[in-house]
A and B are shown apart, each in its own frame.
Chain A
Amino acid sequence: MNAPLGALDRPNSYIGRSVSRPNAKRLLAGRGRYVTDLVLPRMLHAAFLRSPYAHARISAIDLSAAQAMPGVRLIATGADLAKLCKPWTGTLDHFRGMKSPPQFPLPLDEVLWAGQAVVAVVADTRAQAEDAVEAILIDFEELPPVVDVDAALEPDSDRAAAGLDDNLCFGLKLDSGDVDAAFAAAAYVVEEEFHFGRHTAVTLEPRAILADWDASEGRLTVHHATQTPYQFQDLYSRHYGIPEASVRVVAPDVGGSFGMKLHVYHEDMAVVGLSVLAGRPVKFVADRMESFISDIHARDHRVRARIALDAAGTILAMDVDDVTAIGAFSSYPRTSAVEGNQVVRLMGAPYRFRDYRAELSAVFQNKVQTSQYRAVGHPIACAVTERLVDMAAARAGLDPVAMREKNLIPDDAYPHASPTGYRFEALSHEKCLKRLTVMMDYERLRAEQAELRASGIHRGIGIASFVEISNPSPAFYGIGGARISAQDGAIVKVTPSGEVRCLISVTEQGQGTETIIGQIVADQLGLPRERVRVITGDTEVTPHGGATWACRGAGIGGETALQAARKLRENVLSLAATVLQAKTFELDMRDGVIVDLMTGAERISLAEIARIAYFRSDTLPPGTSAQLSVAHHYAPQGYPFAFTNGIQGCHVELDTETGFVHILKHWVVEDCGRIINPLLVDEQVRGGVVQGLGAAFFEECRYDGNGQLTNGSLADYLVPMACEMPDIEIGHVETLTADTALGAKGCGEAGTAAASAAALNAVNDALSPFRASIAQIPMTPTRLLRALGKI
């Protein structure tokens, strides 16, 4: 399947080249157009009254004072919006037995987390809407909140929502091989209980939506800061009963998403209804406090796991119990079970072993919903696996590198089926490990560590192998009944002046999707990059597709663009052959000119071909079909996922008196198959590492016993900042997927997948002389001082 791509030394060979982003200057110059920047005639602003309680019944709502406030145009309750909008339920058919309470834009009579939107006010300005929110009187009858996961699973526990038989949203058991026998026969067993804090995405641009219902045409236009405009077109259509063709969703410039901007949020769904009720455009932009209490959270897992080893240190079996607290509802339409599912299926993924058992429990509680956020499930599976592997190495008397050399799946053992149910096409763990130890100068670091320990300086070295899921097929969501596309579509066309436009369904949130699509199209068409413009994010303009999530932009979107561009190239060359009275196979396109393939002699420019096709078709022979626009779709076939892999190393210094950790350096070797733009891949990996180190040391949504989020501000929720981040060195191995011509796999989640695991191992390595250890992230000074017995 791998048609050869051109060599890097020919003109317009952009695949594999570090080029800058065409949109970067515009955004830096402040010329970006985010939803917040958009102003429509007669536009109104929404603000929400939010529940002060984690769990309560709404006994009475008094709107009279608020309705009389200046500028107020509309106040809507859950009952008002329920008349317009069908409720939704966050389950998928292939997660058998899953349940979740039905959700409405605003609650009818019960609030399920502190911060849940209860009443919407629409006014001339946001400030006026907020003034009126303060004048609304609601009688809440407090109900006992469910906050602790173990208590939630007790049979007589309070329920997180009325109507639930119990607080178990979803349970899953995996069992392959004979785990009990393997553990019984093991020379060593290592086990640990791990705790992973809740965190949230903290995008630079918060959630923002501007809905405009036009009753005269029966058309809904929604400008929405989202990754997935097509998914929302479908959802607004189905839940508001508007024909899909009458719903247009536009994602303009979007300032970061990380998976957070593809879920249905109650406020967003409400804003559509508010526009219908007001008959005017209505805008809502979440402020930072609202983001903390209503954006999806992620992680929040308690994992008990053990592995069995033989006397030589070979991993025999793994046994895992994951309990994850998902909030009061399963999120929609992708559910809150995907992370747990990926945790139990990615356990031990880089290693050769046969016997595996896992149990997953996704538990309801009265907190914000959790759902998919960058590297869904990966950091948990990776940290558990890699920490256990380090513990096992210590028991077996092996260096962590030797332990991995012994147990990683060999590079020549593919295809490989994991005991957790995944099939790997081709991975490169051994190559990556070798490369990493060279980059780290591993032996020297170990020698330096020993030397410094003698003088009271405690450094730690941690490594973590990982497997990343990318390029998901319909097996991910489509099979579960969700109308979330696994395919993408592109329209590539030549303009009358010989430029090219590519309209494609993958979307851009700052990661460089448009850049790489432009590279691929220019490369395939033999055009200077400046002559290709990529257009994304408008359901009225771009073909239907999955858009950008799960590291599918390059692998699936890129392949779509490549195939579309090749079709257009054929059409252009065929037309040129007609004009030139030559054979198509004798011609090539280079630098915007049709040339003789063998000699490179210029024959005719693309602009001239376009001029003839568009304005002088009378000069073409009868029957000539000049097709200078091509529409093309591509859906992944072959493997259900394109798995990628890599390894990370982390070097830290632990201040044993204060519990503070200085991250000295971080290394990544990753294999995302064909690299389209090395610069963007490295920046994706670095950004991902920073988010992983944030999880390892800083980020945590903290709740009190009443279910109140106690650190919902950027002063209290610590995102990683440049001063604390180390230099991050990145190396690559390229193992192409044979499923596509492009051979690209995803890279956007690689950094996040293993950074926290490498950091956890590094800190534990630093702790080892004190016979101390930690199995919880974030690793705060308080937790480290406790581990050291200093407090």
Chain B
Amino acid sequence: MKARAFSYFRPATITEALTVFAVAGGEASYIAGGQSLVPALALRLQAPERLVDIAHIDALRGISLEDGWLRLGALTRHVEAHDDPLIAAHAPLLALAAPHVAHPAIRNRGTLGGSVALADPASEFPAMMLAMGAEMEIAGTEGTRRVPADSFFLDLYQTALEPGELLVAFHIPAAGPEHRCAFDELARRRGDYAIVGCGTMLTMSGAETSSARIAFLAVGATPVRARAAEASLVGRRLDSETIRSAQAALAEDLDPPDDEQVPAAMRLHLARVLLGRLLGSLAEAA
């Protein structure tokens, strides 16, 4: 299929982008890497009258470390999440998840901002933002605001972004040597959307876990934090009994959808297997 006709704008600044979007009266889409939007246009699942291409706005780029926060411009590409040393050191969950995101050709063009703003619940990066406690820097015609990941993902493909607002950057608390991170997912084929995926970030205090953040992908309408499982780990040694209790706690955290291909019970079962394996690998690495 061929996309419907649309007009195309390529602003050079954030202000210009917001203005060009605003005057379209709601019939516009931002486009960056285009890895989700272009197929949707070609399939006529989306047919905006105006595309606002933000890929050439320099202010949306850059990776820097300041005051214990890692700042990633929204145009940071998937391949940079895979390769960048600052990301590997301070946001290791992004680096661990990146090889599972689609395929190299897609990772070369796809952007973190695009992935998180789309908020596909089966995508890796939105869930990892949740697992890392990232904050989203959002620009609008009224000014700039920051929204924590915990209140960013609202429902299926729905985020705290208001129409016309632009995701500018991610602010991620920089991980250090006290953090232990693990990511894995179960996908039918390498690069596919996973049946279930999980990122786990533990803060260790000696042999005990002092805090934990665990986020799942593909288990509901949004990326989901496993708060009961997190709580079950805190203040305990990471032994097999603790791991079993975290696996059991997922029944409180996850309410996966039922579909014919993957029944809810199977997704919960696989989430438990996955969490058990991730925690087991972190315990072994200790």
- Are A and B part of the same complex? yes
Q: With contacts A126-B2, A721-B189 known, is A782 near B43, CB below 8 A?
A: no
How would residues 2 to 25 of chain B score, 1 for a CB under 8 Å from any chain A CB and 0 otherwise? Answer: 111100000000000000000000
Shortest Cβ distance from A713 into B: residue: B43
The verdict on A127 contacting chain B, using a C-beta distance below 8 Å, is: yes
Q: Is the CB of A723 within 8 A of B273?
A: no
* Measured CA separation A723–B273 after assembly (Å): 23
How would residues 710 to 723 of chain A score, 1 for a CB under 8 Å from any chain B CB and 0 otherwise? Answer: 00000100101101
Q: Could you say which residues of chain A place their CB within 8 Å of the CB of B266?
A: 781-782, 785, 791
Instruction: Tell me, rounded to whole Å, the shortest Cβ–Cβ distance linking B222 to chain A.
Output: 20
Within 8 A of A (CB), among B176-208: 186, 188-193, 195
- Kindly specify which of B144-152, B235-243, B257-265 makes contact with the partner chain: B257-265
- Cross-interface CB contact of B189 among A127, A131, A724, A785, cutoff 8 Å: A724
Shortest Cβ distance from B267 into A: residue: A791
Q: Could you say which residues of chain B place their CB within 8 Å of the CB of A287?
A: 1
Q: Is the CB of A658 within 8 A of B186?
A: yes
How would residues 213 to 255 of chain B score, 1 for a CB under 8 Å from any chain A CB and 0 otherwise? Answer: 0000000000000000000000000000000000000000000
* Total interface residues in chain A, CB < 8 Å: 25
Q: Could you say which residues of chain A place their CB within 8 Å of the CB of B188?
A: 698, 718, 780-781
Instruction: Tell me, rounded to whole Å, the shortest Cβ–Cβ distance linking A285 to chain B.
Output: 11
Q: With contacts A718-B189, A781-B195 known, is A127 near B5, CB below 8 A?
A: yes
Q: With contacts A782-B261, A790-B269 known, is A130 near B1, CB below 8 A?
A: yes
Instruction: Tell me, rounded to whole Å, the shortest Cβ–Cβ distance linking B239 to chain A.
Output: 20
Q: Is the CB of B189 within 8 A of A791?
A: no
The verdict on A657 contacting chain B, using a C-beta distance below 8 Å, is: yes
Q: Is the CB of B262 within 8 A of A782?
A: yes
Q: Is the CB of B2 within 8 A of A130?
A: yes
The verdict on B31 contacting chain A, using a C-beta distance below 8 Å, is: no
Shortest Cβ distance from B196 into A: residue: A658
Shortest Cβ distance from B266 into A: residue: A791
Q: Could you say which residues of chain A place their CB within 8 Å of the CB of B2?
A: 125-127, 130
Q: Could you say which residues of chain B place their CB within 8 Å of the CB of A134?
A: 44
Q: Is the CB of B189 within 8 A of A660?
A: no
How would residues 36 to 66 of chain B score, 1 for a CB under 8 Å from any chain A CB and 0 otherwise? Answer: 0000000110000000000000000000000
The verdict on B270 contacting chain A, using a C-beta distance below 8 Å, is: yes
Q: Is the CB of B190 within 8 A of A721?
A: yes
* Measured CA separation A718–B192 after assembly (Å): 9
Instruction: Tell me, rounded to whole Å, the shortest Cβ–Cβ distance linking B270 to chain A.
Output: 6
Q: Is the CB of B193 within 8 A of A723?
A: no
* Measured CA separation A234–B195 after assembly (Å): 49
Shortest Cβ distance from A125 into B: residue: B2
- Cross-interface CB contact of A791 among B3, B190, B263, cutoff 8 Å: B263
How would residues 645 to 687 of chain A score, 1 for a CB under 8 Å from any chain B CB and 0 otherwise? Answer: 0000000000001101000000000000000000000000000
Within 8 A of B (CB), among A772-791: 780-782, 785, 790-791
Q: Is the CB of B273 within 8 A of A658?
A: yes
Within 8 A of B (CB), among A616-667: 657-658, 660
The verdict on A60 contacting chain B, using a C-beta distance below 8 Å, is: no
Instruction: Tell me, rounded to whole Å, the shortest Cβ–Cβ distance linking A721 to chain B.
Output: 5
Instruction: Tell me, rounded to whole Å, the shortest Cβ–Cβ distance linking B50 to chain A.
Output: 17
Q: Could you say which residues of chain B place their CB within 8 Å of the CB of A698?
A: 188-189
The verdict on A582 contacting chain B, using a C-beta distance below 8 Å, is: no
* Measured CA separation A782–B189 after assembly (Å): 15
The verdict on A39 contacting chain B, using a C-beta distance below 8 Å, is: no
Instruction: Tell me, rounded to whole Å, the shortest Cβ–Cβ distance linking A720 to chain B.
Output: 8
Q: Is the CB of B43 within 8 A of A289?
A: yes
* Measured CA separation A715–B190 after assembly (Å): 12
How would residues 378 to 399 of chain A score, 1 for a CB under 8 Å from any chain B CB and 0 otherwise? Answer: 0000000000000000000000
Q: Is the CB of B273 within 8 A of A657?
A: yes
Shortest Cβ distance from A697 into B: residue: B188
Within 8 A of B (CB), among A125-184: 125-127, 130-131, 134
Can you add 12 more A-B contacts, CB < 8 Å, to A698-B189, A781-B188?
Answer: A127-B3, A130-B1, A130-B2, A134-B44, A660-B186, A715-B193, A718-B188, A723-B189, A723-B190, A724-B189, A781-B266, A791-B269
The 9 sampled A-B contact pairs (Cβ below 8 Å) are: A130-B1, A131-B4, A134-B44, A658-B273, A721-B189, A724-B189, A782-B263, A785-B269, A791-B266
Across the A-B interface, the 8 shortest Cβ-Cβ residue pairs: A127-B2, A723-B190, A791-B266, A657-B273, A791-B265, A721-B189, A287-B1, A126-B2
A contact residues vs B (CB 8 Å cutoff): 125-127, 130-131, 134, 287, 289, 657-658, 660, 698, 702, 715, 718, 720-721, 723-724, 780-782, 785, 790-791
